[in-house]
Structure 1
Amino acid sequence: MSLATNLTDLVPPDAFAQAAAGRSAFRIDDLLDLRAILDAHLRDLRTEDDV
């Protein structure tokens, strides 16, 4: 039997979540990663259209 640690109090509280206090739905690192993925996807679309 296993149980995800994020459902327990074994994992220390997330510093970002504590600092944001529910005011932010996204982390800046996650948004930057998303932007990089979208940029790569758009770059791929442009090169496919050029062919």
Structure 2
Amino acid sequence: GSVQGAYLVSWLVEEMLSVLREERREANGARDYRRLSLRRASAKMLLMM
């Protein structure tokens, strides 16, 4: 119900902030690029739902 939806939204916000943080760190070195792109793809899939 609404509780699950609110939990999903808060989790999604945390994920997006984490992705943004990792993107900023990526400017220094792209060693985590594969993991970052995987997380970005999963976030996009969640947004499509």
TM-score by length of 2: 0.49
Is the radius of gyration larger for structure 1 or structure 2?
1
Q: Structure 1 or 2: larger helix share?
A: 2
Q: Which structure is higher in RCO with an 8 Å CA cutoff and minimum separation 6?
A: 2
- TM-score in terms of structure 1 length: 0.48
